[in-house]
């Protein structure tokens, strides 16, 4: 039985959806009132619909009472996208997690928005199918609806970004109307309504169902990892691999982040990862041989590298995948890179959705990224500006034990994602204790609250966002962290404001997100 003592206006919502769908337990409200980085205003209550009809009815009942509604997917974001400025009804979509239709004839799949990327992968992979963009590394928790709202990429990044891959949405608007945005056959069907609701961070509506295209899984894979002594050569090679479209996935680390990953991920001894990788090789003896290579490589193969690139090439045949990897090797060689053991991409591809233990540092430190996607021609200058910023604050960072590195990821052929990542000693939040595996959490240090270190991280994040602004970068999961109005055409901002007014005239759908 739900408790309604916090606000009698909840009675109307309970009348519409039933008491089982409304949660007001203080511990649950505290947990859902935070994201990976920030603590927000405690929600008025949680609404956990188990059908799209109930979602629409609950949203309509809430907004009729003047209660703001805020959608939450898997909760893995860190830009305050679902942290409202005032007590609101937080819509937890985890109960809308069904895979509604897998259609291998028309090559499409329809899911409810709370379905995780990992669950979809597990349903499609045995059929030899996947979606073109098939999730982020946090996909064991992150939801498909959240990805469509926040945008992002990792798996399948050669083909673009997650939010750009959808064929159509069913969206619940602020008044409870269910809007279907387009055709499940081809996008766009007329003006692109699906694109309008993509990457909106829930400002325009709550995605209830998502239809995605299907492709057939690659028949063969090839892997390559490479080390570079200097960032200019690393950037040049990364960009050329992306422009040539040779890698289905390509990602890299700077020395600091590389060292953090090696400390956190004992790739040579993690039994689950190793068994998964061996199974993925196809054939007992091949798996045994590759497993032995991983164990022999250990974690020392990147000790001397300053920057690294890790690549995966897909092909219809092994010869085709190997040919693409040979072309990658030629690009790397032309830039003075050297090949190292391909343990990281091989193990990662075999275990694409690992536990989200990396939301804490290898010793239990707090963790938060900040990112921007720039043109290839501006990638090196952006990295150099960020390095200069860190150098200018080196004394402060060392005094407060704030570490920073960065990850790199090409975005299709046109973009270069740079993601600085901060680690600092600070107290864990309820979300970390909820999401990190208990056995892993038990091995970590529990730090005390550290406001000075967090304040420095916040200052440096803001400075990096300003650097990205000067470089005309774009961002994923804008939430309440990245500016939009200042970065888009003024006429486009006015149009977006008018759309917001049309679909949410009272401003009750995730108010404040995107600056709307």
CB-based contact 484:478 (threshold 8 Å): yes
Long-range contacts of 26-31 (CB under 8 A, 24+ apart): 27/430, 30/430, 31/430, 31/431, 31/434
Distances (CA, A) of 146 to 91, 112, 138, 376: 12, 11, 11, 28
Q: How far apart are CA 359 and CA 369, in angstroms?
A: 10
Q: How far apart are CA 99 and CA 92, in angstroms?
A: 17
**Beta-sheet strands, E only, within 375-465:** 403-411, 415-424
Average pLDDT over residues 416-427: 96
34 has a pLDDT exceeding 70: yes
pLDDT band of 6, cuts 50, 70, 90: very low
Burial of 183: CB neighbours in 10 Å, binned 0-12, 13-18, 19+: middle
Average pLDDT over residues 480-501: 96
- The DSSP secondary structure of 50-99, one letter per residue, reads SSHHHHHHHHHHHHHTT--EEEESSS---S-TT--SS--EEEEGGG---E
Neighbours of 303 (CB within 10 A): 12
Pairing of strands 220-228, 206-213: unpaired
**Beta-sheet strands, E only, within 183-231:** 206-213, 215-216, 220-228
pLDDT attached to residue 279: 53
Q: How far apart are CA 43 and CA 336, in angstroms?
A: 54
Residue whose structure tokens are 């409200």: 29
Give the pLDDT confidence of 346-365 residue by residue, as tens digits.
989 999 999 999 999 989 99
Residue 245, classed as helix, strand or coil, is coil
269 has a pLDDT exceeding 50: no
Q: Is 287 left (phi over 0), alpha (psi -120 to 50) or beta?
A: alpha
Neighbours of 458 (CB within 10 A): 14
Which of 155-173 are b and which e, b meaning 16 or more Cβ less than 10 Å from the residue's Cβ?
bbbbbbbbbbbbbbbbbbb
Neighbours of 262 (CB within 10 A): 19
144-148, 209-213, 403-407, range with the lowest pLDDT: 403-407
pLDDT attached to residue 277: 40
pTM of the full predicted structure? 0.90
405 has a pLDDT exceeding 90: no
Residue 353: φ, ψ to 5°: -125, 75
Residue whose structure tokens are 């993925």: 280
276 has a pLDDT exceeding 80: no
Give the pLDDT confidence of 378-391 residue by residue, as tens digits.
999 999 999 999 99
- The DSSP secondary structure of 261-312, one letter per residue, reads HHHH--TTT-HHHHHHHHHHTSSHHHHHHHHHHHHHHTT-TTTT-SEEEEEE
Residue whose structure tokens are 């990096």: 464
The continuous run of DSSP H or E covering 27 comes out as helix 26-32
Residue 373, classed as helix, strand or coil, is strand
Give the pLDDT confidence of 444-457 residue by residue, as tens digits.
999 999 999 999 99
Q: How far apart are CA 437 and CA 455, in angstroms?
A: 28
pLDDT attached to residue 214: 98
The continuous run of DSSP H or E covering 495 comes out as helix 490-503
CA 232 to chain CA centroid, Å, is: 27
């Amino acid at each position: 039985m739900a408790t309604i003592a916090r606000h009698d206006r909840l009675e109307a919502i309970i009348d519409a959806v039933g008491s089982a769908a409304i949660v007001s337990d203080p511990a649950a409200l505290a947990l859902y009132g935070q994201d990976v980085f920030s603590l927000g205003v405690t929600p008025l209550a949680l609404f956990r619909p188990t059908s799209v009809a109930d979602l629409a009815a609950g949203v309509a009942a809430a907004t009729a009472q003047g209660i703001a509604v805020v959608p939450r997917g898997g909760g893995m974001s860190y830009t305050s996208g679902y942290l409202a400025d005032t007590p609101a009804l937080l819509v937890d979509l985890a109960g809308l997690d069904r895979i509604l239709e897998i259609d291998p004839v028309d090559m499409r799949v329809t899911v409810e928005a709370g379905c995780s990327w990992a669950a979809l992968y597990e349903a499609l992979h045995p059929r030899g199918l996947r979606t073109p963009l098939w999730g982020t590394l946090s996909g064991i928790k992150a939801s498909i609806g959240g990805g469509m709202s926040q945008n992002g990429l990792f798996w399948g990044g050669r083909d673009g970004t997650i939010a750009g891959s959808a064929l159509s949405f069913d969206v619940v608007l602020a008044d409870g109307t269910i809007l279907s945005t387009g055709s499940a056959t081809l996008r766009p069907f007329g003006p692109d309504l699906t694109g309008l609701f993509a990457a909106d961070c829930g400002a325009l509506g709550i995605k209830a169902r998502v239809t995605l295209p299907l492709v057939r899984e690659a028949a063969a894979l090839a892997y390559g990892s490479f080390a570079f002594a200097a960032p200019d050569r690393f950037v040049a090679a990364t960009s050329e691999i992306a422009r040539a479209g040779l890698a289905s996935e390509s990602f890299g680390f700077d020395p600091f982040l590389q060292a953090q990953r090696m400390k956190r991920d004992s790739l040579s001894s993690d039994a689950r990862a190793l068994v998964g990788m061996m199974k993925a090789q196809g054939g007992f003896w091949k798996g045994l041989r590759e497993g032995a290579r991983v164990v022999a490589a250990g974690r020392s193969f990147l000790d001397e590298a300053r920057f690294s690139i890790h690549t995966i090439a897909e092909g219809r045949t092994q010869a085709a995948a190997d040919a693409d990897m040979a072309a990658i090797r030629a690009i790397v060689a032309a830039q003075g890179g050297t090949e190292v053991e391909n343990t990281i991409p091989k193990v990662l591809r075999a275990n694409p959705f690992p536990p989200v233990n990396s939301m804490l540092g290898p010793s239990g430190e707090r963790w938060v990224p900040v990112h921007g996607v720039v043109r290839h021609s501006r990638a090196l200058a952006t990295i150099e500006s960020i390095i200069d910023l860190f150098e200018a604050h080196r004394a402060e960072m060392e005094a407060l034990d704030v570490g920073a590195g960065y990850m790199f990821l090409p975005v299709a052929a046109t973009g270069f994602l740079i993601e600085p990542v901060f680690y600092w000693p600070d107290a864990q939040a309820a979300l970390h204790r909820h999401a990190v595996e208990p056995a892993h959490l038990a091995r970590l240090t529990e730090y005390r609250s550290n406001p000075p270190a967090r304040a420095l991280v916040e200052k440096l994040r803001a400075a990096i966002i300003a650097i990205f602004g000067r470089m005309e970068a774009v961002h994923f999961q804008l939430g309440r962290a990245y500016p939009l109005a200042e970065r888009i055409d003024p006429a486009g901002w006015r149009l977006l404001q008018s759309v917001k007014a049309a679909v949410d005239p009272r401003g009750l759908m995730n108010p404040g997100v995107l600056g709307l």
